[in-house]
Amino acid sequence: MLELQGISTYYGKIRALDDLSLRVERGEIVALIGANGAGKTTALRTISGLLRPRAGRVLFADRDITRWPPDRIVAAGLAHCPEGRQVFPEMTVLENLELGAYTRPAVTGAQLERVFALFPILRERRGQRAGSLSGGEQQMLAIGRALMADPRLILFDEPSLGLAPVIVREVARVIETLHRGGTTVLLVEQNASLAFAVAQRGYVLEHGRIVLEGPIPALTGDERVRRAYLGG
């Protein structure tokens, strides 16, 4: 469903992604793990059209989306839930959610109900400023906003970052619920525990290159992965 072929992305002279190739099949949850600065966020921003790769192609649902603008990519069914949540703090919960649907105005009502069913707390807080929510609630809002576009594939950038373990479990539950509902997921994490708990397959990114890939049991059995990404 999603394929990166030989992607190289630069910031000026700095090469952040070096000949990166990966695939996500329809219905999969795929983990992309790597240390701080490995290039995970750059990979997601390249997929969603926020950065232009200098080489390589991004294919989504059999179409070459490499040079598409971000709004067209969202409208095609590929949503991005960014690192650090990036909700608009002065806007209400409802306004933040409505922004997520701007490429698909026709689906707004039904999607809003779907998001509220998944996150009842957002319904309760819909009139509240997003900046007044807790970190966990803001993460739910960021996920809800991505869902408003009714995506077929979601990119998650470190959704567990800075959250208490009980909230991380909630995030895992939500990702699994979406997956059961037919959504395909590419999940980026620095701490591999969440990613490995929900994903079927994974890639390890170091210095902009894929150094290891395989089914999750093979990755968790790898000594280097255990030491570098699982804290032992």
> Where along the sequence are the contacts to ligand ATP (CB under 6 A)?
11, 14, 16, 34, 36-42, 83, 190
Rounded to 10 deg, the angle between the 135-147 and 165-180 helix axes is: 10
The dihedral of CA 94, 96, 100, 101: what is its sign?
Answer: positive
109 phi/psi in degrees, rounded to 5: -60, -50
Report in angstroms how near the CB of residue 176 gets to ligand ATP at its nearest: 23
Rounded to whole angstroms, the Cα distance separating 228 from 101 reads 38
* 77 versus 82: smaller Cβ distance to ligand ATP: 82
Nearest partner of 170 among 185, 186, 159, 179, judged by Cα: 159
Report in angstroms how near the CB of residue 229 gets to ligand ATP at its nearest: 12
* 24 versus 101: smaller Cβ distance to ligand ATP: 24
Report in angstroms how near the CB of residue 40 gets to ligand ATP at its nearest: 3
Report in angstroms how near the CB of residue 34 gets to ligand ATP at its nearest: 5
Q: Is 36 exposed, middle or buried (0-12, 13-18, 19+ CB in 10 A)?
A: exposed
* 43 versus 112: smaller Cβ distance to ligand ATP: 43
* 42 versus 48: smaller Cβ distance to ligand ATP: 42
